[in-house]
C-alpha cells in the first residue's frame, strides 16, 4: 500500500505555531470523520449525490468491454488521438505518462510492443492543431472523442475538424477510426454516434468530470496503449476497501483530508503544493490540480454562507523545481502545505561513473542517480523543516498501474472528505459553467442572443488606463 | 511592441475594494519608479550588482561566436541534448517550444529543415534518463552541458554519465560532441573543459541563473535549432530602450511591477497566475515561475526585517485550464492577480467545418478555432470581472523570436523593479543554496562530514504519527 509520512506537519517537529498535534486532532475529529465516511458510503448509490466514482472499481462489465475493444483494435492503429479537455484528458494522460516508456511517441513500433502512440489534444490552439495534423497519419489513427454531453465546445470543435479530414481520407470507412465516450442515452455526441454508427463507451451518470479517470474516459485510452487495467482495478479495490474504514487512525484519505483542512483553517497554510520526485509522476500534479481546485474552490458553502474557499493547488516536480520554487517555499509566505510524492524503488538504477577527480564533483563517482535523487529529496525536506514549513510525503512503493490507482483513488476520496469538512459541494463547478455559457453567447449559439449583446457591451468597456 | 491591458485591475471596472485607481497610483509612485529605473541603469555595470543581464542585448561578439559555432556544426548532428537545470534550461526551452514547429522532435529531418531535434534534461530521474538514452543515438548528438560553477550536482552527474557513454562510443573524438557553457575562468566545468578540450561558451559574471536566457546559456541552444537570434537581440534592444524611460506612464515593466506590488500590499492579491492563451507559450509560464519565485520569495528585506515575502507564481494554460483552475480563480480565495497572455495573430487559421446540424454544436460550423479561442478568453475575462477578480492581459502581436524577446526582457525588468519596490535582493537565493549544501553533505562530499552526521540525525527523527 502507499503510505504517508506526516512527521513534518507535526508540532513535535516544526513547533506548535505551525505544526499540528495529530494525535489530539485525530482523536478530536474521529467522530466527525466516522460520520463523513459512513455518509459517503451510505449515499454512494443515491441519484444526484455524484458519488458514482466510488463504484467505478466494481464495474466488471465495463472493464470487460474496454478490454474486448482494445483487443479487437490491437495492432490496427499507429496512433490514438484523445479529444477531450479537463477531466476527459488529465487522468489518462497522467497514467500514460507514468506507465508508458519515457519518450513513448518517439519509439519505434517494436519498442512500443506494437502498441500505438498516444496524443491528448486538450486545447484549441490553431498552431498546435495544424502541427499535430502534420505529424499524424489520420488513416492509421484511432480517434477517441470524449464528452458526456457533446456540448464541450473545444472537444466538439476539434472533432468536427478531425472528422471532416478523416472522412475525406477514408470515405465511409472513417467511422472505424472513431470511438466515442459519452452519455448513455441523451446528449449530442450520443446522437451523432448513433447516426454515424460509432463504437461507443459510456460516461456514467453522477460522476463529475474530474472523477472519471476510472470510467471508460480513462480506462479506454489506457487499455489502447497496453496499460494493464486489471491492475488498475485491483489497486482501486484494495484502496477502496481500506478507505471504507471509518477509523481515522486507519484511513489515509481521511487523515490527509483533515491535515489539509486544519492546515488551512487553523494554521493558514491553505495552498497545497503537489511535488512528485519523479518525472514519470509529473502529470499526477496536473490531474490533482483540477481535482482539488474545482472541487474545493467554491464561493459558498452548502448553507449559503460566503466563504470563498481558498485552497489552491500548485504544481512542482522534484528535483527540478528545487531550482525554481523551493526558495519561495522555504522563505516566502507561510501559506503552503507541501505534498511530496516519493518513489521507493525506481525501475532503473543508473550509476554515476568515477571519471572526474576534481574536488566538488569527485564525490559523485560510484554513487547512483537513485541515491542522488533521495539525497536531494531529503535535503529539501530538512531545509523546509529548518524553516518550519509543513510538508508531508506520500510514498509509492513503485510506479506501476496498481499503485497509481491506489494513489488516484486515495486522492479522490481525500477530496470528497475535504469537501465534507468544508461543508461544500465538491462535485459541481458553477462558475466554470458560467464561462462556458458566455462562450456559447459570444460564438452565436442559439438562445444566447441577449446575453451576447450584454457581453459585447461589457467587453467594450475599458478603463482609461487600459493600454498605457 | 507588446502591450498590456490593465482594464480589469482598475477600480472603475472591478470596484474600489479590489481594484486600483491606476492614474492616481501612477502619479503617486512616479518619483519612486523614476528613482528605481535611474538606479538600475546607473548600477548596471557595477560589479556585484547582478545587473549584467541588462547588457546581454549588446554583446555583439558573443552573438557572433554563437552564430559561428552554430553554422559550423550545422547539419552534423541529429540531436542537441541540453544538460542544465533551472535557469540553465527554462529559458531556452520556452523559446524552443514557442518558436519551433509543434511536435518538433517527431518531425523528419526535412521537416525540421535539417536542424536537430532538441532535448532538455533537467531532472535526474533514473527511469527518465534510461528512456532518453534508448532514444538518442549519442554519436549523432551534440551535448551542451551548462553550469556556471560546475558544482551543479544534477547537471554534473548527468554529464558524467553521458560523457562516459559518449567516449565509449566515439573514443577521443567524443569531445567534438560536447560544448560547455560555463564560467569564463574559474570553476570545475571550466577546468574539465580545458583538460578535455571542449568548445566552450561563457556564462557571464554577475548574472543570476534565472536571468541568463539571453546569454549563451539560452542563445546557443536556440541558434543550434535554427532560431533567429538576431531577431531575439532586436527584441531585447527595442524593449530595453523603451524600459529605460523613467516615466511610469511610458514604461510597461514599471507599470506591471507596481500593479503586482500594490495588488499584494494593498489588496492582498499576492499570487500571480501566468496563463497564456497559447500552447506554444505554455513554457513561458514555467520560466516566469522561477523568475518570480526565486527573485521575490525572500525571508528578509535588505534592512534585515522579517517579511516572508509571499508572491507565488502559478501556471495555467488557456483554454485548457478553464476546465481545471478557473472555477477556483472565480470563486476561491481573493489572493490572485491573473496575468493572461494573448496572441493577437496566430500563424494558422483553422476553420470548423459545417458538418453537424444539431442545436448545441451547429453554431460552431463556419467559425474558426481562432474565433473560438478569442471568445473563450473573452468569456473567462468577463466571468472574472463579474466576480471582481483582478486580471490583466499582455498582448503579443505574434509568436515570433522578436516578440518573445520583448516579453522575456520586459518580465525580467518587471521582476527587478518589483524587487526594488519590496526592498529585497532579487538576485540571490539563499535557502536554495542551503538545500544544495545539504545534498553535498548527504552525498558525502568532502568538507561536509559534520553537517552530514547532523542531517542524518534529523532525518531519523520521525513524529510518532509518522505513518498511520
Residues B303-332: tens digit of each pLDDT: 999 999 999 999 999 999 999 999 999 999
Q: What is the reported pLDDT for B63?
A: 98
Residues of chain A with Cβ-Cβ distance to B132 below 8 Å are 102-103
Q: Does A265 touch chain B (CB under 8 A)?
A: no
Measured in angstroms, the CA of B68 and the nearest CA of chain A are apart by: 30
Q: What is the reported pLDDT for A43?
A: 97
Tell me: pLDDT of B452 over 80. Answer: yes
Q: How many CB atoms lie within 10 A of CB A237?
A: 15
Low-confidence ranges of chain A (pLDDT < 50): none
B431 to A331: CB separation less than 8 angstroms, yes or no: yes
Distance CA(A43)–CA(A66), nearest Å, equals: 27
**Does A453 participate in catalysis according to the annotation?**
no
**Is residue A295 a contact partner of residue A351, using CB atoms and an 8 Å limit?**
no
pLDDT average, residue stretch B22-49:
97
A334 to B308: CB separation less than 8 angstroms, yes or no: yes
- The bridge status of strand B391-396 relative to strand B3-5 is antiparallel
Element (H, E) at B418: helix B401-422
Element (H, E) at B105: none
A356 to B192: CB separation less than 8 angstroms, yes or no: yes
For residue B186 the three cell numbers come to: 574559474
Residue B154: C-alpha distances to residues A389, B129, B149, B451 (Å): 24, 12, 12, 20
Q: Does A306 touch chain B (CB under 8 A)?
A: no
**Does A323 participate in catalysis according to the annotation?**
yes
Residues of chain A with Cβ-Cβ distance to B128 below 8 Å are 102, 279-280
Q: What is the reported pLDDT for B435?
A: 87
A315 to B311: CB separation less than 8 angstroms, yes or no: no
What DSSP state is assigned to residue B20? Answer: B
**Is residue B299 a contact partner of residue A331, using CB atoms and an 8 Å limit?**
yes
Bridge partners for A70 per DSSP: none
In the block, cell 442559439 appears at A446
Closest CB to B308 among A333, A350, A462: A333
Bridge partners for A145 per DSSP: A83, A180
For residue A253, report the phi and psi dihedrals to the nearest 5 degrees: -65, -40
Residues 6+ apart with CB under 8 A from A171: none
Q: What is the reported pLDDT for B468?
A: 56
Q: What is the reported pLDDT for A467?
A: 64
Residues of chain A with Cβ-Cβ distance to B322 below 8 Å are 432, 435
Residue of B nearest to A259 (CA): B465
Give percent of chain B with pLDDT exceeding 90: 93
**Is residue A177 a contact partner of residue A166, using CB atoms and an 8 Å limit?**
yes
Distance CA(B176)–CA(B396), nearest Å, equals: 39
- The bridge status of strand B271-276 relative to strand B199-202 is unpaired
Q: Does B398 touch chain A (CB under 8 A)?
A: no
Residues of chain A with Cβ-Cβ distance to B369 below 8 Å are 124-126, 129, 157, 161
- The bridge status of strand B271-276 relative to strand A313-315 is unpaired
- Spacing of C-alpha A199 from chain mean position: 26
Quote the Cα angle for A86-A89-A95, to 5°.
Answer: 130
Residues of B with catalytic function? 294, 323, 436
Residues of chain A with Cβ-Cβ distance to B107 below 8 Å are 134-135
**Does A436 participate in catalysis according to the annotation?**
yes
Q: Does A132 touch chain B (CB under 8 A)?
A: yes
In the block, cell 559555432 appears at B69
Q: Does B324 touch chain A (CB under 8 A)?
A: yes
For residue A379 the three cell numbers come to: 535535503
Distance CA(B259)–CA(B20), nearest Å, equals: 8
| Alpha helix (H) residue ranges in B136-182 | 153-170
What DSSP state is assigned to residue B115? Answer: P
A435 to B368: CB separation less than 8 angstroms, yes or no: no
Catalytic residue among A17, A130, A195, A323: A323
Residues of chain A with Cβ-Cβ distance to B446 below 8 Å are 359, 362-363
Residues of chain B with Cβ-Cβ distance to A385 below 8 Å are 458
Q: Does B61 touch chain A (CB under 8 A)?
A: no
Distance CA(A213)–CA(A222), nearest Å, equals: 10
Q: What is the reported pLDDT for A457?
A: 87
What DSSP state is assigned to residue B300? Answer: B
Angle between helices A401-422 and A90-99 in degrees, nearest 10: 150
Chain A to chain B Cβ contacts (< 8 Å): 498
Q: What is the reported pLDDT for A464?
A: 66
Q: Does B243 touch chain A (CB under 8 A)?
A: no
Residues B353-412: tens digit of each pLDDT: 999 999 889 999 999 999 999 999 999 999 999 999 999 999 999 999 999 999 999 999
Residue of A nearest to B286 (CA): A324
A461 to B7: CB separation less than 8 angstroms, yes or no: yes
Q: Does B30 touch chain A (CB under 8 A)?
A: no
Bridge partners for B338 per DSSP: B273, B391
Give percent of chain B with pLDDT exceeding 70: 99
**Is residue A164 a contact partner of residue B375, using CB atoms and an 8 Å limit?**
no
Catalytic residue among A139, A176, A267, A436: A436
Catalytic residue among A294, A406, A412, A420: A294
Mean pLDDT of all residues belonging to chain B: 96
B130 to A350: CB separation less than 8 angstroms, yes or no: yes
Tell me: pLDDT of B185 over 90. Answer: yes
Per residue, the 3-state secondary structure of chain A, as one string, reads CCEEECHHHEHHHHCCCCCECHHHHHHHHHHHHHHHHHHHHHHCCCCCCCCHHHHHHHCHHHHHHHHHHHHHHCCCCCEEEEECCHHHCHHHHHHHHHHCCCCHHHCCCCCCCCCCEEEEECCCCHHHHHHHHHHCCHHHEEEEEECCCCCCHHHHHHHHHHHHHHHHHHHHHHHHHEEEEECCCCCHHHHHHHHHCCEEEECCCCCCHHHCCCCHHHHHHHHHCCCCHHHHHHHHHHHHHHHCCCCHHHCHHHHHHHHHHHHHHCCCCCEEEEEECCCCCHHHHHHHHHHHHHHHCCCECCCCCECCCCCCEEECCCCHHHHCCHHHHHHCCCCEEEEEEEECCCCCCCECCCCCCCCCCHHHCCCEHHHHHHHHHHHHHHHHHHCCCCEEEEEECCCCHHHHHHHHHHHHHHHHHHHHHHCCCCCCCHHHHHHHHHHHHHCCCCCCHHHHHHHHHHHHCCCCCCEC
What residues of chain B, 406 to 465, have a C-beta less than 8 Å from chain A? Answer: 429-432, 434-436, 438-446, 455, 458-459, 461-465
Sheet holding B141-146, edge to edge: B117-121, B79-83, B141-146, B178-182, B199-202
Tell me: pLDDT of B462 over 90. Answer: no
Measured in angstroms, the CA of A217 and the nearest CA of chain B are apart by: 15
Query: What per-residue string of b and e applies to B58-80 under the rule 16 or more CB within 10 Å gives b?
Result: ebeebbebbbebbeebeeebbbb
**Is residue B362 a contact partner of residue B352, using CB atoms and an 8 Å limit?**
no
Q: What is the reported pLDDT for A468?
A: 57
Residues 6+ apart with CB under 8 A from A270: A263, A264, A310, A311, A312, A335, A337, B333
Measured in angstroms, the CA of B218 and the nearest CA of chain A are apart by: 16
Q: Does B54 touch chain A (CB under 8 A)?
A: no
In the block, cell 486544519 appears at A262
Residue B403: C-alpha distances to residues A171, B94, B225, B232, B323 (Å): 43, 13, 18, 8, 28
Residues B133-181: tens digit of each pLDDT: 999 999 999 999 999 999 999 999 999 999 999 999 999 999 999 999 9
Closest CB to B459 among A128, A351, A382: A382
Q: Point out the least confidently predicted range of A209-223, B19-33, B448-462.
A: B448-462
- Spacing of C-alpha A90 from chain mean position: 5
Residues of chain B with Cβ-Cβ distance to A12 below 8 Å are 463-464
Tell me: pLDDT of B467 over 70. Answer: no
**Cβ-based burial of A337 (10 A; exposed 0-12, middle 13-18, buried ≥19):** buried
Closest CB to A122 among B299, B320, B355: B320
Distance CA(B43)–CA(B51), nearest Å, equals: 7
Instruction: Check residues B342 and B434 and name the one with the higher pLDDT.
Output: B342
Count Cα neighbours of A432 within 13 Å in the Cβ-side half-sphere: 27
In the block, cell 512616479 appears at B30
Strands (E), B162-209: 178-182, 199-202
Amino acid at each position: 500500500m502507499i503510505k504517508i509520512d506526516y512527521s513534518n506537519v507535526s508540532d513535535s517537529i516544526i513547533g506548535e505555531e505551525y505544526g499540528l498535534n495529530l494525535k489530539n486532532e485525530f482523536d478530536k475529529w474521529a467522530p466527525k470523520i466516522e460520520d463523513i465516511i459512513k455518509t459517503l458510503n451510505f449515499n454512494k448509490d443515491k441519484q444526484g449525490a455524484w458519488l458514482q466514482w466510488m463504484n467505478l472499481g466494481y464495474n466488471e462489465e465495463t472493464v470487460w468491454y474496454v478490454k474486448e475493444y482494445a483487443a479487437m483494435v490491437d495492432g490496427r492503429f499507429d496512433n490514438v488521438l484523445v479529444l477531450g479537455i479537463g477531466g476527459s484528458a488529465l487522468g489518462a494522460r497522467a497514467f500514460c505518462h507514468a506507465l508508458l516508456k519515457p519518450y513513448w511517441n518517439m519509439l519505434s513500433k517494436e519498442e512500443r510492443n506494437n502498441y500505438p502512440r498516444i496524443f491528448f489534444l486538450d486545447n484549441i490552439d490553431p498552431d498546435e492543431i495544424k502541427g499535430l495534423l502534420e505529424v499524424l497519419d489520420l488513416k492509421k489513427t484511432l480517434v477517441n472523442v470524449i464528452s458526456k454531453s457533446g456540448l464541450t465546445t473545444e472537444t466538439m470543435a476539434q472533432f468536427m475538424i478531425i472528422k471532416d479530414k478523416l472522412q475525406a481520407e477514408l470515405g465511409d470507412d472513417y467511422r472505424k477510426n472513431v470511438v466515442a465516450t459519452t452519455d448513455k442515452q441523451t446528449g449530442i455526441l450520443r446522437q451523432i454516434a448513433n447516426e454515424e454508427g460509432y463504437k461507443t463507451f459510456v460516461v456514467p451518470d453522477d460522476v463529475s468530470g474530474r472523477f472519471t479517470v476510472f470510467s471508460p474516459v480513462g480506462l479506454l485510452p489506457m487499455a489502447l496503449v497496453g496499460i494493464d487495467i486489471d491492475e488498475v482495478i485491483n489497486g482501486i479495490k484494495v484502496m477502496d476497501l481500506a478507505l471504507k474504514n471509518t477509523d481515522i487512525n486507519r484511513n489515509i484519505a481521511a487523515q490527509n483530508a483533515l491535515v489539509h483542512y486544519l492546515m488551512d483553517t487553523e494554521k493558514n497554510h491553505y495552498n497545497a503544493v503537489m511535488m512528485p520526485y519523479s518525472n514519470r509522476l509529473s502529470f499526477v500534479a496536473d490531474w490533482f490540480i483540477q481535482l482539488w481546485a474545482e472541487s474545493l474552490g467554491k464561493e459558498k458553502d452548502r448553507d449559503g454562507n460566503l466563504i470563498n474557499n481558498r485552497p489552491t493547488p500548485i504544481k512542482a516536480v522534484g528535483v527540478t523545481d528545487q531550482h525554481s520554487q523551493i526558495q519561495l517555499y522555504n522563505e516566502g509566505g507561510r501559506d503552503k502545505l507541501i505534498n511530496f510524492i516519493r518513489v521507493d524503488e525506481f525501475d532503473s538504477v543508473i550509476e554515476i561513473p568515477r571519471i572526474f577527480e576534481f574536488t566538488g564533483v569527485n564525490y559523485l563517482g560510484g554513487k547512483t542517480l537513485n541515491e542522488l535523487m533521495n539525497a536531494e529529496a531529503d535535503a529539501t525536506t530538512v531545509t523546509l523543516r529548518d524553516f518550519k514549513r509543513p510538508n508531508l510525503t506520500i510514498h509509492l512503493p513503485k510506479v506501476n498501474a496498481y499503485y497509481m490507482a491506489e494513489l488516484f483513488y486515495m486522492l479522490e476520496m481525500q477530496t470528497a472528505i475535504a469537501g465534507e469538512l468544508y461543508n461544500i459541494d465538491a462535485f459541481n463547478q458553477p462558475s466554470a459553467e458560467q464561462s462556458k455559457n458566455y462562450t456559447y453567447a459570444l460564438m452565436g449559439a442559439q438562445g444566447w442572443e441577449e446575453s451576447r449583446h450584454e457581453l459585447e457591451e461589457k467587453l467594450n468597456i475599458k478603463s482609461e488606463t487600459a493600454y498605457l
